[in-house]
Amino acid sequence: MDGIVYLSLGSNLGDRDRNLRDAIRALEGVGRVQAVSSFYETEPVDFADQAWFLNCAVAIESALSPERMMAELLCLERKLGRERTHGKGPRTIDIDILLFGERIVDGPDLKVPHPAMHRRRFVLAPLADIAAEARHPAMNRTVKQLLAELPEGQVVRRLRG
């Protein structure tokens, strides 16, 4: 095992709550789910003209390589109804790898840590629920530190545990 992998899940189409729960259950086929954050309702970022998202973070233990895990996650998204019509547009489910143990991956199709995670409250708030002390290996900052350093903005509301 390479350690714990942290994922960000989001949905803003259909039954968002069910979409997240279905994705969390399906992740058991990729590895062993260790923890799930609270669910958060979040305003869209980058492409604002769409419905608000429901987001959470998941810790998973897996023997897969980062590249193989990404391939499995993309397959899982398709099985759960994800259609890629607009890069940052509405989606039934979106699953991103945030951190993969202490690894840094800089490939053409995969970058870990996620290159925008340190700028996104909708990623850091849920991740802080389950991994506040996890360290960003390239920035040498904890999730809690990165969250505290974010400027105001990006509405993120915790719904429940």
Domain containing residue 79: CATH number: 3.30.70.560
Per-residue confidence of the chain (161 residues) as pLDDT tens digits? 357 999 999 999 999 999 999 999 999 999 999 999 999 999 887 766 778 999 999 999 999 999 999 999 999 998 987 776 666 678 889 999 999 999 999 999 899 999 999 999 999 999 999 999 999 999 999 999 999 999 988 889 999 65
Q: How many domains does the chain have?
A: 1
Residue 82 falls in the annotated catalytic set: yes
Among 15, 46, 68, 91, the active-site one is 91
Distances (CA, A) of 137 to 29, 41, 48, 107, 114: 27, 28, 30, 16, 11
Question: Could you give the CA distance from residue 41 to residue 111 in angstroms, rounded to a whole number?
Answer: 26
| Given 96, 120, 121, 129, the catalytic residue | 96
pTM of the complete model: 0.92
Question: Is position 96 annotated as part of the catalytic site?
Answer: yes
Question: Which of 16, 22, 82, 120 is an active site residue?
Answer: 82
Range of the domain at 8: 4-160
> If you average pLDDT over every residue of the chain, what do you get?
91
Can you tell me the distance from the alpha carbon of 32 to that of 79, in angstroms, rounded to the nearest whole number? 19
